Amino acid sequence: MRRYNEYEQENRELRKRKRKQAMQRKILGFCVFTFLLGVLCGKIVFAKGPKEESEQVTAESIENFVELSNQEPDNPASEGISGNLLAAGEETSKEEAWKLTLVNKWNPMEEGYKPAVAEIENNYYFDARAVGYLQEMLAAGRREGLDFWVCSAYRTVEKQTDLFEDKVRRVTAETGLTGDAAREKAGTEVAFPGTSEHNLGLAVDIVARDYQILDEKQARTEEAQWLKENCWKYGFILRYPTDKTEETGIIFEPWHYRYVGEKAAKEIMERGICLEEYLDRVQ
Ligand SMILES: [Zn+2]
């Protein structure tokens, strides 16, 4: 009897020990799980945090580039070492700013701005600082058998004024509208002088030689498709995509390409955004 009781007691203690061990394992497991969860969350937060921050910094610095480019150095007191550093910084900003100048109906070009231009071909001209990239892009497509036709590039503000006034006259003849009403209607089809990217010297219209009509069907040509796919490699963007009419103020123009530099072009085309969105300047 005594032996049975001893056996029973040993058994109970064994079960008790086992329960205790099982409980310890559970607690340990829970601790490890909590620790791993903590590490994982930490990683996600760290991975997310700086990325958003860097995106913000990019957008802000671009805004600064553009704003800086419009400022004239007008403070002689800032000369000396810090003045030189400031000048160097502004120089770098200006270096980038010209590529990202925003011109649309809400942001007219700086009055009297005239870019230095160089000929592309067919008697068309482009900003001299970017004409090389445009020629490289055209040459690359042509090597693949595409037949591009450049049908517009740099236009002086005077030329834009002629085009616009012409349009106003036609609107009046066709609709009977006069004055501001006629000008407003004309403005929906021909950009008001100083608000066309063509006045800036950084825009070019490229079509297929065998389909030179400026309508949406242009997008179906092999030439337009190649340009849309490859333009960013040369620093160009499809400036007026089909789904950004509200942001750009311009209808889908599959032929109109704008030089913005390779860095901005890559991001804009990859993310499927427009220049207004890239610069955070949507109206
Ligand atoms: Zn155009």
Same domain, 85 and 107: no
- Residues annotated catalytic, as ranges: 253
How far apart are the C-alpha atoms of 243 and 273, rounded to whole Å?
Answer: 9
**260 Cα: distance to centroid of ligand 1 (angstroms):** 15
- Per-residue model confidence as pLDDT tens digits over 28-57: 555 455 554 454 444 443 433 333 333 333
174-191 average pLDDT score:
89
Question: 141 with 227: CB under 8 angstroms?
Answer: yes
Q: Which amino acid is residue 270, in one-letter code? A: E
- Per-residue model confidence as pLDDT tens digits over 224-268: 999 999 999 999 999 999 999 999 988 899 999 999 999 999 999
H or E segment to which residue 276 belongs: helix 275-278
DSSP 3-state of 132: helix
- Whether 189 is in a domain gets the answer no
Question: 214 with 221: CB under 8 angstroms?
Answer: no
Same domain, 46 and 116: no
- Whether 190 is in a domain gets the answer no
- Whole-Å CA distances, 228 to 50, 132, 234: 31, 19, 11
How far apart are the C-alpha atoms of 103 and 202, rounded to whole Å?
Answer: 10
Task: Enumerate the β-bridge partners of residue 211.
Answer: 208
Domain count, the chain: 2
Same domain, 135 and 16: no
pLDDT confidence tier of residue 78, bands split at 50, 70 and 90 = very low
How far apart are the C-alpha atoms of 167 and 131, rounded to whole Å?
Answer: 30
pLDDT of residue 196: 93
77-82 average pLDDT score:
34
- Whether 238 is in a domain gets the answer yes
Task: Write out the residue range of the structural domain in which residue 274 sits.
Answer: 101-155+196-278
> Which of these, 61, 107, 98, 108, lies nearest to 278 by C-alpha position?
61
Same domain, 17 and 135: no
How far apart are the C-alpha atoms of 68 and 94, rounded to whole Å?
Answer: 7
Task: Enumerate the β-bridge partners of residue 104.
Answer: 107
Same domain, 210 and 83: no
**203 Cα: distance to centroid of ligand 1 (angstroms):** 6
Read off the CATH number of the domain in which 141 is found: 3.30.1380.10
**245 Cα: distance to centroid of ligand 1 (angstroms):** 14
Q: Could you say which of 98, 126, 142 is where a domain stops? A: 98
- Whether 182 is in a domain gets the answer no
Which residues make up the environment of ion ligand 1, defined by Cβ < 5 Å?
205, 256
**142 Cα: distance to centroid of ligand 1 (angstroms):** 21
Same domain, 148 and 274: yes
Same domain, 150 and 262: yes
Task: Say which residue, 97 or 265, is predicted with more confidence.
Answer: 265
Same domain, 119 and 200: yes
Whether the pLDDT of residue 25 is over 90: the answer is no
**205 Cα: distance to centroid of ligand 1 (angstroms):** 5
**58 Cα: distance to centroid of ligand 1 (angstroms):** 28
**230 Cα: distance to centroid of ligand 1 (angstroms):** 18
Question: 250 with 104: CB under 8 angstroms?
Answer: yes
pLDDT of residue 283: 85
Same domain, 123 and 213: yes
**198 Cα: distance to centroid of ligand 1 (angstroms):** 6
